[in-house]
Structure 1
Amino acid sequence: MKSEAWIFGAVAIFLVLVTPAYWFVTAASEHGGDWTGTSALVMCTLLALMCTVYIGFHAKRMDPRPEDREDGEIAEGAGELGFFPPFSWWPLWSAITMAFSVLGIAMAAWWLLIVSGVVGFIALAGWNFEYYRGNFKH
C-alpha cells in the first residue's frame, strides 16, 4: 500500500508544480487567463493530496501485503480476491434515466423530468435489490 501512496504523492507534487505554471502561462495570454483549466488543476491537486493522505494513513495501520514485502511469495497472495458481480442491466437504465433527466432540465420539459424520476426510482430499486431475485439471489 505504501507504493500506491508514493505514486499519488508524486502525482500531487507534479500537479503542485504544474498548476501555478499553467496559470502564469495562460494569464500572459491576450484573453487574461484560463480560469477553467486552472481550477480543474487545483481540484486535481487536492484530489491527489486527499488520496495520498488517505492511503498513506491506512498503509501505516495495516499489515504489509505479500507484494509489499521483499520476502513475499506469489503463493501468499492466492485465494479469493473478492466478490465480482455478474452482468446487470440496471446501470444502463440508470444512465438512460439520468440522460433524460438532464435533457428534461435543459429543454424545460418538466414532464420529462417527472417521468424520468419515476423510471429512475424503479431503476435504482432494481439495482439495489438485484441479488434478492432471479438467478443471482443469495
Structure 2
Amino acid sequence: MRVKTLSTEFKTFALLVPFFVVVAAVYAYFTDPMEWVGIVGLSLTACLCAFIAGFIWLTSRKVDDRPEDNELGEISDAATDNYGFFSPHSWWPLWLGLSSAVVFLGVAIGWWLVMIAAPFMALATVGWTFEYFRGEKAV
C-alpha cells in the first residue's frame, strides 16, 4: 500500500501555526505595558492557519495524488484538462475590478460614491458568473 504524501499547501499552513505562536509569545514578552490587540491578533492568525491546514488535510485525503505534489514529477505530468475552463476573452473582470475600485474609493471619499458604484459591481459579478449560461442550464 502506497502512503499518500502531504500536499504543499498543508505543509505551508502547518508550518505557519508554530511560527505565529512563537511570534505571539515574543510579542507578548516584549510589549510594555502588555498590548492585548497584537497578542490576540497573532494568536487568532495561528488559529486561522490551523483551521486552513486542517481543512486542506481533510479534503486532500479524498483526492488522488496530484502531479504538483510529486517531488519527482515532470511538468508534462500536469498537462491534463482537469483544471477547469478559463475564458480566453472575458471583459467582465475588467468591469468588476473598476467598479470594485470605485466602491473602495467611495469608502474613503464618501458613501454616496459607494451607492453609485455598488450596482455596477453587482452587475459585473453576475455577468461574470453567468457569462456562458445560455438557455436552460446551458454551459
Bucket of the pairwise TM-score, normalised by the shorter protein: 0.5 to 0.7
Q: Shift in Å at residue 53 of structure 1?
A: 0.5
> Is the aligned partner of 1:12 residue 2:14?
no
Structure 1 residues 79-118: aligned runs within 5 Å: 79-82=80-83, 83-110=85-112, 112-118=113-119
Q: In 1, distance between residues paired with 2:117 and 2:73?
A: 52
Unpaired stretches in structure 2, ≥5 consecutive residues = none
TM-score by length of structure 1 reads 0.66
Task: Assess if the C-alpha contact under 8 Å between 2:92 and 2:124 holds in 1.
Answer: yes
Q: TM-score, normalised by structure 2?
A: 0.66
Deviation at 1:127, TM superposition (A): 1.4
Q: CA deviation at 1:34?
A: 5.3
Structure 1 equivalent of residue 42 of structure 2: 41
Listed as ranges, the gaps of 5+ residues in structure 1 are none
In the alignment, is the contact (CA less than 8 A) between 1:2 and 1:55 conserved in 2?
no
Query: Hey, what's the Cα distance between the residues in 2 that align with 1:68 and 1:13?
Result: 23
Flag the 1:129–1:36 CA change in 2: closer, same or farther, 3 A.
same
Superposed CA RMSD in Å reads 3.3
Aligned mates of 1:39, 1:101 — CA distance in 2:
30
Kindly indicate which of the two structures has a greater share of residues assigned to helix.
Answer: 1
1:24/1:85 CA distance change after superposition, 3 Å: farther
The Cα offsets for residues 6-54 of structure 1, whole Å up to 9 and x where unpaired, read as 33211212111111212322x22xxx45555444423331221012111
The aligned length equals: 129
Q: Which amino acid aligns with 1:15?
A: F
Describe how 1:50-129 pairs up with structure 2 within 5 A: 50-65=51-66, 68=69, 74=74, 77-82=78-83, 83-110=85-112, 112-129=113-130
Within-5 A mapping of 1:17-32: 17-25=22-30, 27-28=31-32, 32=33
